[in-house]
A and B are shown apart, each in its own frame.
Chain A
Amino acid sequence: GAVVSQHPSWVICKSGTSVKIECRSLDFQATTMFWYRQFPKQSLMLMATSNEGSKATYEQGVEKDKFLINHASLTLSTLTVTSAHPEDSSFYICSAQGTSGRYEQYFGPGTRLTVT
């Protein structure tokens, strides 16, 4: 149980284009999902908290107009990187919060974004 998928697993796009990444909880419903960014050999950096049916909450320093988050259902959240630039190249990971009441998060396999 508690399986989270991400699609695509990797994507290469040209500078100035937009890229959408999907995060799905496959066997449980998640009212709360999270989006992280990770640079090589570093820890995870929380970008935003995504709540089903409401606006996402962004961490300080994260541009909400650049990283659009939509939590359309209890099993799907999407992150759209708009007008991507090479500095947006990174490993993006989503997670879904479990229902144990202990704030456990279950992570997707990540999406490697490369902007050329």
Chain B
Amino acid sequence: TQLLEQSPQFLSIQEGENLTVYCNSSSVFSSLQWYRQEPGEGPVLLVTVVTGGEVKKLKRLTFQFGDARKDSSLHITAAQPGDTGLYLCAGADYKLSFGAGTTVTVRA
């Protein structure tokens, strides 16, 4: 049973559109992390959120952490083809528990 559920599983949008990926947890972790992975490569850490209600921005990416620290979202504004990849959320304690991932395709 996966502790973290991500939605949607797949997302295909046109360049310039916005998108949101959701991550919901059945447990509270010490922190929640978002990663992006390109085919044939390892995941790259995008952000770590720790505090309930926290909002972090990374250029066109906005990460929110729910007040109860069980849900999180990743919003990308004006998506570009370079944003294409597999987005993974992970709950962190001693080890990471990954969601199933969201495959994002941004068409030029």
Interface residues of A (CB under 8 A from B): 4, 6, 34, 41-44, 46, 49, 91, 93, 95, 100, 102-110, 112
Contact = CB atoms under 8 A, between A and B. Distances in A.
Interface of B: 30-31, 33, 35, 40-45, 48, 50, 88, 92-96, 98-101, 103
Given A42-B101, A102-B50, A104-B48, A109 B92 contact: no
A110 B42 contact: yes
B44 A102 contact: no
Contact of A34 (B33, B41, B95, B103): B95
29 contacts: A34-B95, A41-B103, A43-B98, A43-B100, A44-B43, A44-B88, A46-B96, A49-B95, A91-B40, A93-B42, A93-B43, A95-B42, A100-B48, A102-B30, A102-B48, A103-B92, A103-B93, A103-B94, A103-B95, A104-B31, A104-B33, A104-B92, A105-B33, A106-B45, A107-B35, A107-B42, A107-B44, A110-B40, A112-B40
B42 A103 contact: no
Nearest to A111: B42
